[in-house]
Amino acid sequence: MFVLEQEEYQREGIEWNFIDFGLDLQPCIDLIERPANTPGILALLDEECWFPKATDRTFVDKLIQEQGEHPKFQKVRQLKDKADFCVIHYAGR
Protein backbone atom coordinates (compact mmCIF):
# COMPACT_ATOMS: atom_id res chain seq x y z
CA MET A 1 0.00 0.00 0.00
CA PHE A 2 2.71 2.48 0.96
CA VAL A 3 4.74 1.41 -2.06
CA LEU A 4 1.88 2.37 -4.39
CA GLU A 5 1.51 5.76 -2.69
CA GLN A 6 5.21 6.48 -3.06
CA GLU A 7 5.11 5.51 -6.74
CA GLU A 8 2.18 7.89 -7.21
CA TYR A 9 4.17 10.71 -5.60
CA GLN A 10 7.01 10.06 -8.05
CA ARG A 11 4.65 10.06 -11.06
CA GLU A 12 3.16 13.38 -9.93
CA GLY A 13 6.59 14.90 -9.40
CA ILE A 14 6.07 15.42 -5.67
CA GLU A 15 9.35 15.83 -3.80
CA TRP A 16 9.64 12.67 -1.78
CA ASN A 17 12.32 10.53 -0.17
CA PHE A 18 11.50 6.91 -0.97
CA ILE A 19 11.21 4.80 2.17
CA ASP A 20 11.80 1.06 1.93
CA PHE A 21 9.34 -0.52 4.33
CA GLY A 22 10.80 -3.93 3.53
CA LEU A 23 7.41 -5.47 2.93
CA ASP A 24 4.78 -5.16 0.23
CA LEU A 25 1.44 -5.41 2.01
CA GLN A 26 -0.56 -5.94 -1.20
CA PRO A 27 -0.90 -9.75 -0.81
CA CYS A 28 -2.41 -9.28 2.66
CA ILE A 29 -4.72 -6.53 1.39
CA ASP A 30 -5.81 -8.78 -1.49
CA LEU A 31 -6.64 -11.57 0.95
CA ILE A 32 -8.88 -9.27 2.95
CA GLU A 33 -10.54 -7.62 -0.06
CA ARG A 34 -9.46 -9.43 -3.19
CA PRO A 35 -10.19 -7.49 -6.38
CA ALA A 36 -10.24 -10.46 -8.77
CA ASN A 37 -11.88 -13.87 -9.15
CA THR A 38 -11.74 -15.39 -5.67
CA PRO A 39 -13.64 -13.33 -3.09
CA GLY A 40 -11.67 -11.92 -0.16
CA ILE A 41 -12.41 -12.36 3.54
CA LEU A 42 -14.79 -9.40 3.72
CA ALA A 43 -16.80 -10.51 0.67
CA LEU A 44 -17.06 -14.03 2.08
CA LEU A 45 -18.19 -12.67 5.44
CA ASP A 46 -20.81 -10.50 3.73
CA GLU A 47 -22.04 -13.51 1.77
CA GLU A 48 -22.17 -15.71 4.86
CA CYS A 49 -24.27 -13.13 6.74
CA TRP A 50 -27.12 -13.71 4.28
CA PHE A 51 -27.59 -17.31 5.45
CA PRO A 52 -29.80 -17.62 8.56
CA LYS A 53 -28.11 -20.83 9.71
CA ALA A 54 -24.56 -19.62 9.15
CA THR A 55 -22.14 -19.99 12.05
CA ASP A 56 -18.57 -19.01 12.79
CA ARG A 57 -17.56 -22.50 11.73
CA THR A 58 -19.38 -22.37 8.37
CA PHE A 59 -17.67 -19.04 7.69
CA VAL A 60 -14.21 -20.44 8.47
CA ASP A 61 -14.94 -23.55 6.40
CA LYS A 62 -15.78 -21.28 3.46
CA LEU A 63 -12.57 -19.29 4.05
CA ILE A 64 -10.51 -22.47 4.03
CA GLN A 65 -12.22 -23.63 0.83
CA GLU A 66 -11.76 -20.30 -0.99
CA GLN A 67 -8.50 -18.98 0.49
CA GLY A 68 -6.76 -22.09 1.83
CA GLU A 69 -3.89 -21.83 -0.68
CA HIS A 70 -3.32 -18.07 -0.28
CA PRO A 71 0.21 -17.42 1.09
CA LYS A 72 -1.11 -14.99 3.72
CA PHE A 73 -3.93 -17.24 4.95
CA GLN A 74 -3.34 -20.00 7.44
CA LYS A 75 -5.61 -22.54 9.01
CA VAL A 76 -4.62 -22.65 12.66
CA ARG A 77 -3.00 -25.98 13.53
CA GLN A 78 -3.89 -26.01 17.20
CA LEU A 79 -7.35 -24.54 17.45
CA LYS A 80 -8.47 -22.64 20.50
CA ASP A 81 -11.89 -22.65 18.92
CA LYS A 82 -13.33 -24.55 15.97
CA ALA A 83 -13.60 -21.31 14.01
CA ASP A 84 -10.03 -20.01 14.18
CA PHE A 85 -7.96 -18.86 11.22
CA CYS A 86 -4.89 -16.68 10.80
CA VAL A 87 -3.95 -13.80 8.50
CA ILE A 88 -0.16 -13.65 8.24
CA HIS A 89 0.75 -9.98 8.25
CA TYR A 90 3.87 -9.69 10.36
CA ALA A 91 6.99 -8.49 8.57
CA GLY A 92 9.00 -11.42 9.90
CA ARG A 93 6.84 -13.99 8.10
Name the residue with higher pLDDT: 26 or 56.
56
CA distances from 7 to 1, 3, 23, 28, 93 (A): 10, 6, 15, 19, 25
The predicted pLDDT at position 36 comes to 66
Name the residue with higher pLDDT: 6 or 68.
68
| pLDDT above 70 coverage of the chain, percent | 87
CA distances from 35 to 39, 49, 79, 80 (A): 8, 20, 29, 31
Name the residue with higher pLDDT: 76 or 24.
76
Of 82, 90, 45, 51, the closest CA to residue 63 belongs to 45
Q: Could you report the per-residue pLDDT of 33-76, keeping only the tens digit for each?
A: 876 677 899 999 999 999 999 999 999 999 999 998 988 888 88
Whether the Cβ atoms of residue 86 and residue 74 lie closer than 8 Å to each other: yes
Give me the CATH code for the 2-87 domain, please.
1.20.58.530
Could you tell me the residue ranges of all domains in the chain?
Answer: 2-87
